[in-house]
Structure 1
Amino acid sequence: MNSAAPGSIRPSSELESGNHVSRKGQVLAWAVWDWGSASFNAVMTTFVFTVYLTSGAFGGKDQTSAVLGGALALAGAVIAVLAPVTGQRSDSGGRRKLWLGVNTAATALLTGLCFFVFPRPEFLLLGVTLIALGNVFFEFAGVNYNAMLAQISTPKNIGKVSGFGWGMGYLGGIAALVAVLQLFVQPAFDWFGASTQDGLNIRLVAVFSAIWFLVFALPVLLAVPELPRPVRGPRPGVRASYGLLVRRIKAIYQTSPHTIFFLLASAVFRDGLAAVFTFGGVIAAGTFGFDLRDVIFFAIFGNIVAAAGAVGGGFLDDRIGPKAVIVGSLVGLLAAGTAILVLGNANYVVFGFDWSGSTTFWVFGLFLSLFVGPAQSSSRAYLARLAPGGEAGELFGLYATTGRAASFLAPALFTLCITIATPLVAPGEAQRWGILGILVVLLAGLLVLLPVKPPGKTGFASLPAACPPPKQGSAD
C-alpha cells in the first residue's frame, strides 16, 4: 500500500486500494451507529420523551412546547459556538474515532439521566435541559461520524453509502420504537417496567434508549480505523482555533465560493429538516389528539417510509446528482407541510369519504417522512464530493458549525409562531401554527440553494494548514 502524503484522505485512499470485503464491513459498522442513534433521535427527541415532556403532567401543552423549543434553540446556539473547535481539533489530532466515542457516551449518559424526570411541572426544566444537552453532544458526535463517510466510500458510491446510513437509522428507529411499544407503552407481558405510576414506564424508556445507543455504537469504534495523525507542528490552542476557522472560511471562499454558498443554504434547510422530526410527535399529540401509542405507531410507519426514501434517494443521488435530490425533497416537504397547516384537525368530506384530522396527519405526515431522508442524505454526500484530499473532516466541521449556527431558527420560529397565535386562536389551537415557522425555514433554505452550483461545476475547496509542517530534521 502506498503511503499517503500529508493532506490526502488517507482512509479513503487506503480503502480504494484495499479489499472489497473489508470495505463492506466498515460500511456496515458505520451504518450501525446510525441504527443505534435512532434511540436518541426517534425515541427521545421526536416520538416519545418530548411528547411526555409536553404532556399535561408538566403544564399546558402550548407552554411546555414553547419551553422545549426555547431550550433546543439555546442548545443550537451553544453548538454553533463550540463546534468549530470540536471537529477541527479531533481531525487535526488524528482523534476522530476517539471523540466520536466520547460524545456518543456523553449523549447516552444524558439520555439515561432522563430517568429522573418525574411527571410533575417542577421537573420540566430538568427534562428539557437534559434533552438540550443531549442534542449538543449528539451533534458533536455527528461531526466525526459524517466525516467518516469519506473514509468508507468512493466517488462512485458515496450517495448510496450515505443513503444506506440514513436508511439504517430509520430502520433502527423502527426497531427501537417497536421494542419501546412492546415493553413500556403497550406491554406484551406484565412486568414492573410497564407501571405508569410516576411515569415509570416512560422514564425507563430513557434507560433503554441509552443502552441501545451504546451497544450499537461499538461496531464503528472497532471496525473503522482511527485517522493517522497529520505530520504537522503543534496544534493551535482553543482561541487560535477560532482564528484558524476564519482563515479557512476565507480560503474556501477564494477557491470554491459555491462551497460556502452550499454550507449557508444547507445550514438553513437542515434546521428545518431537524425540526420536522423534533416537533413531529409533539404536533401529532397536541394538535391531532394522538395518544402515545398512536404516536409510536405513526413513528414506525413514518420510519419505514423515511428509510425507503433515504435509500431510493441515495441511488438517485449517484445518477442525477445531490442538488436535484435536495431541491425535489424540499419542494415535497413544503407541499406536505402546507397541507397539514391548512387542513389542521378539521373534518372534511372528500369524494364522498369522511376525512378526519388524524387522516390529514397520517397522509401528509408520511409524505414529510418520505422527503426528509433524501434531503439529509444527499446534503451529506454533496459536501463530501466537494472535499479535496485530506480535508473532508475539516469541511464537515464547518458543516456542523454553519448548521448549528442556524439551528436556533426553526425552534425559535416554531416558538414565536405559537406565541403570536396564542391570543388569536382558540385554546389549544396555537400549537399547529408552529408548523408555519418550520415551513418558513425550509422555504428560505430552498431559495438560498437554488443558485448554488452542483458538485462538478465548482472547484474543490482548499484549506490552509492549522500549523506549518515541522522543518526537516526538527522534532515531530
Structure 2
Amino acid sequence: MYDFANSGYTTVVLTAIFNAYFVGVIAAGAGHGGATFLWTIAMAIANGLVLMTAPIVGAMADFGAHKKRFLAVTTLGCIAFTASLALIQPGEILWAILLVVAATIMFSAGENIIAAFLPEISPPDDMGRISGYGWSLGYFGGLLVLAMCLAYVSWAEAKGQTASQYVPVTMLITAAMFALAALPTFIWLRERAVKSRLPEGEHFLFIGFKRVMETWHEARHYHDLFRFLLTLAIFQSGIYTVIVLAAIYAQQVMGFTTRDTVMMILVVNVTAAIGAFFFGRLQDRFGSVNTLTVILLLWIAALVTAYASTDRTTFWVVANMIGLALGSSQSASRALIGQFSPPGRSAEFFGLWGLAVKLAAILGPLSYGLITWLTDGNHRVAILSTNAFFIVGLFLLRSVNEKRGRIAADTPATS
C-alpha cells in the first residue's frame, strides 16, 4: 500500500507537473537550456545527499529494527516539503531548489526503507511477483493523484487561471493524498526484524558505518550482487533521466501543453502498471536476468523512436513503450536485489541498491542537462545520448549469474 501512497510524489512533482513548471515558469529567465540544467542540478544535489546516507540509514534500521520508525520520519518530511512547494513564486529559483531537494531526500530514503520490508513479507521464489504487484499498485496510486490534478487543472484553465495559480494547488493535492494513503502502512505493517543488542560503548551511527564497511569487504562473496549494482547504476541512469525529463521533453520539443503532458503521464502510469505486473510474472518463470534483458532492449527501441519522432502520434507510441519498460525494470531490479540479499541484512543491502539508484539519478539527468546547456537546448541530441546507458547496462547484465547470486545470499560470508 505504501507503493500506492508515495507514487503521487514522483508522478506529479518529478515527472509530470512541477518539473516542467520549474523549467517553463520558475526558472524561465535562465533560458530553456539553462533552466533544464538547473533542474538536473537540483536532482543531482538531492540524490547526492541520499547517496551518502542511504547505506548508513539502512544498516541502522536493520540493526535496531527501526525500519518503521525511520519510514514515519521520512514520510512526514516528504509530505511537509511537498506542501511547501505550493508557496513558491515564479523567479524564486533558490527556494524551489531547496524545497524539492529536501522533499526528494525524504522520498528516496522512505523508498529504500519500504523496499527493505520485501524479504520479510515474501519468500525468495515469490519476490518477483510480489514486487511486481507492489509496483503495479504504485503506478495506480500515481494515476489517481495525477487524475485528481488533471481535473483541477482543467477546471482552473476553464476559469482562465495560469500555471502559476493552479500548479501550487496540485502540490497540496499530492501532499494530502500521500498522507492519507500512507496511513494503512503504519496501521498494519509490522516490524518483523529482531533488534540486535548494541555492544557496550557502541552507537547506532557507528554500527551503521561498520556494517557498510563489512558489506564492501565481502564484495568477493557477494560477487553477483555487486556486479548487478554496477549494472543497475548504469541503466538506471537512463531510466531516471526519462522520469525527471520526459515532461520537459514533451513540452519543449513536441509542443505539449500542461494538460497534454498530464494526460500522457496518466496513460503511461497505466502501461507501467501493466508492465510491472506482466514482467513480474515472467521474472519468476524465466529468471530476472533474462527478463531484464528484454526490458532493456525495449528501452533502447523506445528512445531511438523518441529521437526520430516528429508527430504526436508517434510520440504517444513512445510514451507507452516507455511505460511498459519503466514499471517492469523497476520491479525486476528490486526483486533481484531482494534475492541476492542475505537474511537479516535486507535494509543494509537495499541501502546499497538505493546507493546505486541515486548514483544513477545524479549521472543520468546531469548528463542530459549538461548536453542541453552545451547545445543551446537541443533535447533531441540529449535524449539520443541517454541510450548509451541502456546499451552499456545490457552488456554488463549478461555477466550476472543469477543462480550463483542467490546461493551466495544463503551462504555465510567467510573472510
Structure 2 counterparts to residues 122-137 of structure 1, below 5 A: 123-137=92-106
Given the alignment of the two structures, is residue 37 of structure 1 paired with residue 6 of structure 2, yes or no? yes
Describe how 1:433-472 pairs up with structure 2 within 5 A: 433-455=381-403, 459-461=407-409
The aligned counterpart of 2:126 is 157
Give me the identity figure in percent.
Answer: 25
Deviations 1:33-64 (A, max 9, x none): 11121210111110011111111453122221
What pairs up with 1:41-120 in 2 under 5 angstroms?
Answer: 41-56=10-25, 58-59=27-28, 60-118=31-89, 120=90
- CA change 1:94–1:211 in 2 (3 A) is same
What whole-Å deviation, never above 9, does each CA across 1:5-38 have from its counterpart, x for those lacking one?
A: xxxxxxxxxxxxxxxxxxxxxxxxxxx2111212
Shift, 1:254, TM fit:
2.8
- The residue number in structure 1 matching 2:213 is 246
Give the distance between the partners of 1:78 and 1:150, measured in 2 at CA.
Answer: 26
Distance in 1 between residues matched to 2:126 and 2:235, nearest whole Å: 24
Partner of residue 155, structure 2: 187
* Alpha-carbon shift at residue 172 of structure 1 (Å): 1.2
Q: Which whole-Å CA distance do the structure 1 matches of 2:319 and 2:171 have between them?
A: 25
Q: CA deviation at 1:446?
A: 2.1
Deviation at 1:300, TM superposition (A): 1.0
Match of 1:305 among 271, 274, 277: 271
| Amino acid in structure 1 at the alignment position of 2:384 | L
* 1:70–1:412 CA contact under 8 A, matched in 2: yes
Task: Compute the TM-score of the two structures, normalised by the length of structure 2.
Answer: 0.93
**1:468 matched residue in structure 2:** none
Pick one of 181, 185, 188 that aligns with 1:216.
181
Q: How is 1:273-288 mapped onto 2 (pairs within 5 angstroms)?
A: 273-288=239-254
Q: What is the CA-CA distance between 1:332 and the residue it aligns to? A: 0.6
Q: Secondary structure at the match of 1:264?
A: helix
**Does 1:398 find its partner at 2:364?**
no
CA distance in 1, matches of 2:210, 2:195: 20
Structure 1 residue 410 corresponds to structure 2 residue 368: no
Aligned counterpart, 1:225: 190
1:410–1:437 contact (8 Å) kept in structure 2: no
* Selected match of 1:385 from 339, 355, 363: 339
Question: How is 1:251-270 mapped onto 2 (pairs within 5 angstroms)?
Answer: 251=218, 253-270=219-236
- 2: CA distance, partners of 1:91 / 1:63: 42
Provide the residue aligned with 1:199 in structure 2: 164
**Residue 125 of structure 2: SS of its match in structure 1?**
coil
Looking at structure 2, the residues matched to 329 and 82 of structure 1 have their Cα atoms a distance apart, in angstroms, of: 30
Measured against aligned partners, the alpha-carbon deviations of 1:331-387 in whole angstroms (never above 9, x if no partner) come to 11011101211x14x3xxxxxxxxx2x222111121011111111101111111122
Q: CA deviation at 1:132?
A: 2.2
Counterpart check, 1:336 vs 2:315: no
Q: Deviations over 1:410-449 (max 9, x none)?
A: 0111112112322xxxxx5x12322134322222322222
Contact 2:60 2:204 in 1 (8 A): no
Distance 1:168 1:315 in 2: 15
Deviation at 1:456, TM superposition (A): 5.0
| Secondary structure, counterpart of 1:161 in structure 2 | helix
Cα distance, 1:58–1:416 mapped onto 2, change above 3 Å: closer
Which amino acid counterpart does residue 128 of structure 1 have in structure 2?
I
| Aligned-pair Cα RMSD in Å | 2.2
Structure 1 contact 110–133 (Cα < 8 Å) conserved: yes
Offset of residue 138 of structure 1:
0.9
Amino acid at match of 1:244: R
- For CA contacts below 8 A with separation 6 or more, give which structure has more relative contact order: 2
Partner of 1:314: 280
Q: Are 2:299 and 1:367 equivalent residues in the alignment?
A: no
Which residue does 1:14 correspond to in 2? none
Q: Deviations over 1:205-234 (max 9, x none)?
A: 111111111111111111111244433324
- The structure number with the bigger radius of gyration is 1
Structure 1 residues not aligned, in runs of 5+: 1-31, 347-355, 423-427, 466-476
Q: Contact 2:368–2:382 (CA<8 Å) still a contact in 1?
A: yes
Give me the whole-angstrom Cα distance separating, in 1, the residues matched to 2:49 and 2:112. 15
> What's the TM-score once normalised by structure 1's chain length?
0.81
